[in-house]
Structure 1
Amino acid sequence: MAEIGAGARVELLGPVRLLDGDRAVAIGGPGVRGLLALLALRAGKVVALEEIIDALWGHDPPATARTIVHGNVSQLRRMLRDMPDGPVAQILTSPPGYRLSIDLERIDAHRARALLEHAALEPPKRAAVLLAEALALWQGPALSGVPDSVRAPELEDLRLAVHGARVDADLRLRRHNELIVELSPIVRADPLAERTAGQLMRALYHAGRRGDALELYRTVSRATLRVLGVEPGSELRGLHERVLNDDLGLREVTGPQRAEPGPAPLQLPAALPALAGRDEELAWLDGLAGTAGSTVAVVSGTAGVGKSALVVWWAHRAGRFFPDGVLFASLRGFDAREAPLAPADLLTQFLLGLGVASSEVPERLHERVALYRSLIAGRRMLVLLDDARTVEQVRPLLPPGSRSMTVVTSRSRLEGLAVSNAARVRVLGTLAPEAAVRVIEELAGPGDFDLNHALARLCGYLPLALRIAGARLSSSPQWTRKDLVDELGNERTRLAALQVDGTDGTDSGVRAAFDVSLRGLSPDLARPLRWLGALPVESVGPQLMAAVARIPVGPARRALRALATHNLLAETARDVFAPHDLVRLYLRELAESELDSDERSAGLGRAVSYYQAASDTARRRMLRIVDSLDFTGSRPADELPPLRTFDEAQRWFAAEWPNLLAVLDAAYAAGRYSDVWRLARVAHTYRVVHPLSDDWNRLVDLGLAAAEAAGEVLGQCWMLISRCAIALTFELPQGCLADAERALDLASELGDKRLVTSANIHLGSALSLLSHHDEAIERLREAVAETERTGDLELRGQALANCAETEKRAGRVQEAIAHQLGSLEIDRELGDDSYAVVSLNNLAELHLRAGDRAAAERYTREGVELATARQLELQEGVLRATLARILRAGGSVGAAREQYALAVRLCEWTNPGRVSDLRTEAAELD
């Protein structure tokens, strides 16, 4: 294994610790250590914030749980960042939670697992060394010093697996006397640990103490009968019988062993010359092969992902695990040319391979099953069942109680085998970019780096598509990589470019592989799949699927989950389903050929209607609404996602934003202009709360163009006000005044007094942005007075806040404080946290200008806590910059520098235009 250099390391196998090289770093109490443990246990994967809270506090978290976690994350980030050898590890924000990015070798639990997997491939002497190194990583009970609610029972399972494998290696090395000394107290303490008892029986037997081995079995048998009411398991009973018969050879120990010379079936087809990017899956199969007893593994994945290639390649190198041979059969479950292989025919093939004469093969299926199971009962064999279609096709071929391992590949997950036969299921994904490029280069030779990566990306990193592309390049020298990239770059011709015409006129390319998968679906599954092809979205949930396909949400959810089990979709998050890129193109072709243009148009209309209702419901949980658009009654609540709280609404918008923009683009292209500006306006609220300049501008520009194309004055007015809001948020004066004046003219033309007030508020703020403070204040105070007369709290809060900001710019501090306090009171009354953080920042700046640093810091820290809890990154960046200035004014240079660094990091993502100014301010501290 590779040596670990300096920098961050994490220890979980004992007291949870963060180390810098060999030096322990003081990170704080159980909560921080628990957070570190949760992230390290799943390093490289996203751990949801809700999951962290549940793990740290169980079912009774404090009201400030989110804030505590955010603070602890910030603390750990700072410690990782400040290590002298640089940030070899970092905690990344990845909605809906956090992800620890670190080399797994730097986490002791992952290193122990890697040593275990590596040892399985080594001869006994080297394996014993590696496994001893793995065991030495345990420094006491795992996860010490964290809250009791943080549990990882898999670490104890890992320790037992490492210890058991090390003992197996020592048995093969004939270290019997040492093992007797080591294992005897373990078995005395826990006579139910049958694997360890079996190992001790072997050691006693080979040390010449056969009587002690038999007495040990009697002790274990009495314990299992007394405690569990059953005899020991079949493995231990079989071992006892061999000791009784005095026929336990030295080679008969648990674990991998070389096959003895002699006839054994070896039915494997040829393997690929090389297999790129499947190290984790190979290690998983090695780990299953190294366990005692019968094992069933299912390797599942979409068409063309390389399931058969993986298991055949692995089987060729795993022969040492299976000294009694390998059986292989293609079940033809998804074969376009032949019917699936019946279990009776497959059993005939296997029985002949096991040496049964053809005349002695039983006629009846159940007799063939019985004979097959009898023949392999005492053997250590590998049975590969490739391309299974259903659980029923496989189940008769699974021998209960055997020492053999069965590996099944299928486009379906065959989850029934996990229920009935404790099968381990592994869903095979596409390749990583580097591995995908290696597949192309294996066939076509080295090529331009950028073109190779572009080619791999256009193939969706799908092994079948990659091999077709590589084969085209190698067999047709006139085609360059640039030519092929150009052809695949056109989505309309990509699947045709990945077609393979056989000599019999059939296609064995990507489209043909997907065709076979579709043909096996029931109509209840095929119909939703066609509707998905008619949508421009990247992913789909049950509610959207139900709306477009005009079915209830429950059946839509069941259909999507069934399609995921067939690996035509992937469930990328809870109730979020997405097709592979090439499957998406295939589904689009399918929809265009099987749904007429009116049906596709109607489906798009239903999608727009769904997003209008869901977006409007979500925005009302996040912010006060001042426009008159209302879609909340257009769909029943049970046909929408759960959008009851700010956080649920925020998560929904974040997850659906790419889909929402794609639906808007498609609706605009289809001429649905009235729908487009209305959806753009209701979605605009999310960007008010979470401002990202490019996304926000794109949304509003599209909405304004649609309103103009529709000739709808109301739409133009609201979209101009939306564009004004962008300019005010990012302090971009150019064009802001003209937009506000035009919006006011249109509002007056409509005669809508509330709309006129809203336009006036934005016009006043635009004037302030251009330093026309007196005129701005006069207009904004008129808006305040108007909202006082009408009792309109939503607009009154907005008018007060904008007036306070303008007075601050004009140097009228006390008037600004009074207006801002009034605005904050309304923010809190209406529950508008996103406006409240702005009010708190403005109050902090005003009190700093008035010379009251204590009040300024109090408002700022309250705002930071609220912005962090609500994940309002832009507002948090503004608040941290304000806090830095307050701390600098008080002489706390180090603390100010830290806040500037946090502000810069946030603004790099949310408001890049402010980064340069913040860095200049921070540099002045030096």
Structure 2
Amino acid sequence: MGDRGDGGGSAFGAELERMLVDRRISWRTLADLVGYTPSWLSKVKNGTPPSAELARRCDQVLEAGGTLISLANNEIAARPAQLPAAAARFVGREEHLAVLRATLTGDHQRGTPAVVAVDGAPGTGKTTLALRLAHDVAPRFPDGQLYVDLQGYSPVELPLRPTDVLEEFLSALGVSGNAIPAEQEQRAKMFRSLVARGRVLIVLDNAAESQQLEPLLPGSGDCAVVVTSRRRLSGMAMRTNAKQLTLGPMTETEATTLLSRVIGEQRTATEPAAITALAQRCAHLPLALRIAAERVATHPHRSVDELVEELDADDQRLDGLATDDSIAVRAVFSWSYRDLSGESARMFRLLGLFRGAQISTAAAAALAGVPVHHGRRLLERLASVHLLEGLARDRYRLHDLLRVYAAELAGAEESAPARQEAVRRLTDWYLHTAERANETLAPFRVHTLEVPAAGPTVTPEGFTDPVEALRWCDGELANLVPLIQTAIDHGLLDTAWRVGIAMWDYFSLRTPMGVWVSTHLLAEQAARTAGDLFAQAWVQTNLAAAKHRLHEFDQATELYRSALAIRERIGDEHGQAWTLAGLGFLHLDQGLAEEAEQVAGRALARFRELGDRHGEVVTMSTLGEVLRLRGLTQQALDALTEALRVADECEDPSAQADALGKMAEAHLALGDREQALDCLNRALAIARDGQNRWGEADILSRRGAVLRGLGRVGDARRSWEAALRLYSEVDDRRATDVRAQLETLS
């Protein structure tokens, strides 16, 4: 290898030019004689290795007697070009490529090679990206390209030893077998010495760990290295200042484009919805996408929808993503799985039992029946090999296809009792933690839900204040429906309905209505299956409250009446009081003052008998509103003032805001907009302090109307805009009403 840069020559090029000068032949004439273009010969003149055929023709035309052929053979051996072919249909990853190209070809400290490390989960296309990158930048490294698959996750082979890789590299660089040292350290020194003479690109694919890479790294700042691995190689990165990039699934656009390239644009255009669905079923993983696309392409008479249907069944999804001539997705995943310790492998299997969007360290520890600190170590191990993705706030996400694979392993390697016990631990942890969170959110309320004691290995979360409790509930919102479904699937019906009930205080504060309804429909299913009338009535009451907020008044009424009948039948007095209170709220919104007064009066009497101050003050506010609807405005104000006093004594912010909101309506009825606005401003501060999104939206909506009546149009607009954002956030249909009010201001 000569000591040259981009424009340097070579022994072959120098000898060829000498012969041309001696024979008085121009480069253009030589091009005509050997049948190659002048531009290509110019590259050879400036250092590009000649092909064997070009060398043969030049040697023949110039009657060099084999000299040029010999020089070419030496240079071809000394300038390896080992890169496998890049993917024929490379799609997307443009931003990643741009960053990596800039790292490899930009300025960097001399004596330090440019290193990029691409890590990611199985099937994300790390090798494909690395090879595309390597071919793109190869012209910048004219002294050769070395490539090796280090077999870090091979299903049948151990990871390659660095000493064996060095022997292969040295041989490719022209070192004869008998000249290659026996010891690894000596081989590494010779390797660094050889590549230091020029600019070499080295691709180290599928690395197992940093130690495997250390002897294979050059010392020259003119060389570059591309590494791929399933784990983040922090040790190597720290020593080399490598640019690290974690590769995830493709974007939806990239995924559909890849499918289109393989399947064909005509079929893609014919079934766009099916293409999108197929991309989703493949979780936008390049490997899965390519396998699925090839299946579609090789069966032109089958619709894309047919394959989507195959993949829809979880227990068949991985089988559907396998072809006779490509690696099955399951096999790719198994390479990482087999590298795990027994405990880490068990944690991975058990994670497949839960279909939640993500899981916290504490929940995963409960699932596995281990202490939280030990569970964290196991999860970190899984994340290090990309079988899990680490998220913020000590949470992790399992890729859809990896979850299917983990579930398969759980079914095959865990006994039925072990699976059942793991799900019991997980659902118990959620139930007890939800109960603690909601008690923290509403310490003023009488909590009557009885929850069986948790097992010895279940340690629920604790909460010091409502903000912390809200943060936990917000983080688990997407997990509630799959959690309850998981409990039902494993016959844990008592736990299933209790989880929905335990989340009541959170639901009433801020949850999107879709989750509230979905969890309670599942809870009702569990209660009915269990034949538990007590549970059915409780779930129906909570579901009726959700239907009320959705303005589905007929369904709400039916649910309340059904729940009341059951509670009267089984003698659930506390439950009767809350069902009657709910009916009172509903009748108020329907403008049925007389009916509201009747049921609210019954509820108030029950709450007072039971000593439930929270229930008492809530019902007092309802009766105060009844008085206003009947035209007894001053009496209504007196009753609501008393309700506010009791709410203050109970330190019940929800009841305080509710009473103030109703007092504002009474002041408006008396024509006093300023007093009404003062009440609403006080209520708004309380709702915001308690992070009650639904209550805040309701108050902002009323406040907008008052502000407009006062002629403060700009303030009214801002209040309504804030209400609209919150109503939209909690899926409340009153967003439509607020939007209409805003339109009147335009």
Task: Determine if the TM-score, normalized by the shorter chain, exceeds 0.5.
Answer: yes
Q: Secondary structure at the match of 2:88?
A: coil
The structural deviation recorded for 1:556 is 0.7
The structural deviation recorded for 1:420 is 4.0
Q: Give the number of aligned pairs.
A: 666
Q: TM-score, normalised by structure 2?
A: 0.83
The one-letter code of the counterpart of 1:646 is P
The structural deviation recorded for 1:559 is 0.8
Could you list the per-position Cα deviations for residues 545-598 of structure 1 after superposition, in whole angstroms to 9, with x for gaps in the alignment? 111211111111111111111001111332221111111111111111112322
Could you list the per-position Cα deviations for residues 788-824 of structure 1 after superposition, in whole angstroms to 9, with x for gaps in the alignment? 5654322223222333343343343333334434444
Match of 2:62 in 1: none
The structural deviation recorded for 1:451 is 2.0
Q: Does 1:716 align with 2:536?
A: yes
Match of 1:468 in 2: 291
The structural deviation recorded for 1:635 is 7.0
Higher mean alpha-carbon deviation, 352-361 vs 772-781, is at 772-781
The one-letter code of the counterpart of 1:487 is E
Q: Distance in 1 between matches of 2:524 and 2:568?
A: 18
Q: Distance in 1 between matches of 2:578 and 2:334?
A: 55
Q: How does 1:540-689 map to 2 (within 5 A)?
A: 540-623=359-442, 624-631=444-451, 634=454, 639-641=459-461, 643-689=463-509
Could you list the per-position Cα deviations for residues 351-396 of structure 1 after superposition, in whole angstroms to 9, with x for gaps in the alignment? 1222322221101111111111222335443221001112221122
Q: Does 1:272 align with 2:87?
A: yes
Equivalent residue for 1:859, pick from 668, 679, 685: 679
Could you list the per-position Cα deviations for residues 874-923 of structure 1 after superposition, in whole angstroms to 9, with x for gaps in the alignment? 33332221111111111223432343344334334434532443344444
Q: Does 1:481 align with 2:286?
A: no
Q: Distance in 2 between matches of 1:540 and 1:772?
A: 46
Match of 1:417 in 2: 236
Change (3 A) 1:489 1:758: closer
The structural deviation recorded for 1:782 is 5.4
Q: Does 1:525 align with 2:344?
A: yes
Q: Does 1:382 align with 2:211?
A: no
Equivalent residue for 2:184, pick from 365, 377, 382: 365
Q: Distance in 1 between matches of 2:570 and 2:309?
A: 51
Q: Secondary structure at the match of 2:359?
A: coil
Match of 1:284 in 2: 99
Match of 1:888 in 2: 708
Q: Distance in 2 between matches of 1:784 and 1:327?
A: 83
Question: Which structure's residues are more often helix, by fraction?
Answer: 2
The structural deviation recorded for 1:261 is 4.1
Q: Distance in 2 between matches of 1:493 and 1:786?
A: 55
Equivalent pairs: percent with the same residue? Answer: 30
Change (3 A) 1:812 1:700: farther
The structural deviation recorded for 1:611 is 1.2
Q: Distance in 2 between matches of 1:423 and 1:561?
A: 22
Q: Judge conservation of contact 2:154–2:335 (CA < 8 Å) in 1.
A: yes
Q: How does 1:311-460 map to 2 (within 5 A)?
A: 311-377=130-196, 379-400=198-219, 402-446=221-265, 447=268, 448-460=271-283
Higher mean alpha-carbon deviation, 371-380 vs 656-665, is at 371-380
Q: Distance in 1 between matches of 2:140 and 2:688?
A: 53
Change (3 A) 1:810 1:705: farther
Q: Distance in 1 between matches of 2:145 and 2:689?
A: 57
Q: Distance in 2 between matches of 1:320 and 1:536?
A: 48
Higher relative contact order (CA 8 A, sep 6+): 2
Q: Distance in 2 between matches of 1:395 and 1:593?
A: 39
Change (3 A) 1:593 1:341: same
Q: Distance in 2 between matches of 1:589 and 1:392?
A: 33
Change (3 A) 1:759 1:490: closer
Q: Distance in 2 between matches of 1:274 and 1:868?
A: 53
Q: Distance in 2 between matches of 1:435 and 1:722?
A: 44
Q: Judge conservation of contact 2:584–2:595 (CA < 8 Å) in 1.
A: yes
Unaligned segments of structure 2, at least 5 residues: 1-6, 8-44, 50-74
Q: Distance in 2 between matches of 1:765 and 1:316?
A: 70
Change (3 A) 1:332 1:919: closer
Q: How does 1:721-760 map to 2 (within 5 A)?
A: 721-760=541-580
Change (3 A) 1:417 1:888: same
Q: Judge conservation of contact 1:259–1:324 (CA < 8 Å) in 2.
A: no
Could you list the per-position Cα deviations for residues 8-66 of structure 1 after superposition, in whole angstroms to 9, with x for gaps in the alignment? xxxxxxxxxxxxxxxxxxxxxxxxxxxxxxxxxxxxxxxxxxxxxxxxxxxxxxxxxxx
Could you list the per-position Cα deviations for residues 623-662 of structure 1 after superposition, in whole angstroms to 9, with x for gaps in the alignment? 2443411449647999334533222222222222232211
Could you list the per-position Cα deviations for residues 217-251 of structure 1 after superposition, in whole angstroms to 9, with x for gaps in the alignment? xxxxxxxxxxxxxxxxxxxxxxxxxxxxxxxxxxx
The structural deviation recorded for 1:435 is 0.9
Higher mean alpha-carbon deviation, 568-577 vs 369-378, is at 369-378
The structural deviation recorded for 1:461 is 0.7
Q: Distance in 2 between matches of 1:892 and 1:497?
A: 63
Q: Judge conservation of contact 1:777–1:806 (CA < 8 Å) in 2.
A: yes
The structural deviation recorded for 1:526 is 0.1
The structural deviation recorded for 1:267 is 2.0
Match of 2:11 in 1: none
Change (3 A) 1:445 1:746: closer
Q: Judge conservation of contact 2:514–2:731 (CA < 8 Å) in 1.
A: no
The structural deviation recorded for 1:279 is 1.3
Q: Distance in 2 between matches of 1:285 and 1:380?
A: 17
Q: Secondary structure at the match of 1:493?
A: helix
Q: Judge conservation of contact 1:721–1:740 (CA < 8 Å) in 2.
A: yes
Change (3 A) 1:428 1:826: farther
Q: Distance in 1 between matches of 2:478 and 2:46?
A: 55
Q: Judge conservation of contact 1:362–1:368 (CA < 8 Å) in 2.
A: yes
The structural deviation recorded for 1:519 is 0.8
Q: Judge conservation of contact 1:684–1:700 (CA < 8 Å) in 2.
A: no
Could you list the per-position Cα deviations for residues 766-802 of structure 1 after superposition, in whole angstroms to 9, with x for gaps in the alignment? 4444544235335534544554565432222322233
Higher mean alpha-carbon deviation, 738-747 vs 484-493, is at 738-747
Q: Judge conservation of contact 1:773–1:809 (CA < 8 Å) in 2.
A: yes
The structural deviation recorded for 1:409 is 0.3
Q: Secondary structure at the match of 1:318?
A: helix
Q: Does 1:820 align with 2:640?
A: yes
Q: Judge conservation of contact 1:765–1:806 (CA < 8 Å) in 2.
A: no
Q: Distance in 2 between matches of 1:740 and 1:635?
A: 35
Q: TM-score, normalised by structure 1?
A: 0.67
The one-letter code of the counterpart of 1:707 is A
Q: Distance in 2 between matches of 1:546 and 1:478?
A: 49
Match of 1:164 in 2: none
Q: How does 1:841-860 map to 2 (within 5 A)?
A: 841-860=661-680
Change (3 A) 1:739 1:627: farther
Match of 1:299 in 2: 118
Q: Distance in 1 between matches of 2:493 and 2:240?
A: 56
The structural deviation recorded for 1:283 is 1.6
The one-letter code of the counterpart of 1:456 is A
Q: Secondary structure at the match of 1:327?
A: strand
The structural deviation recorded for 1:482 is 2.4
Q: Judge conservation of contact 1:298–1:425 (CA < 8 Å) in 2.
A: yes
Change (3 A) 1:716 1:386: same
Flag the structure with larger Rg. 2
Change (3 A) 1:778 1:315: same
Q: Judge conservation of contact 1:768–1:806 (CA < 8 Å) in 2.
A: yes
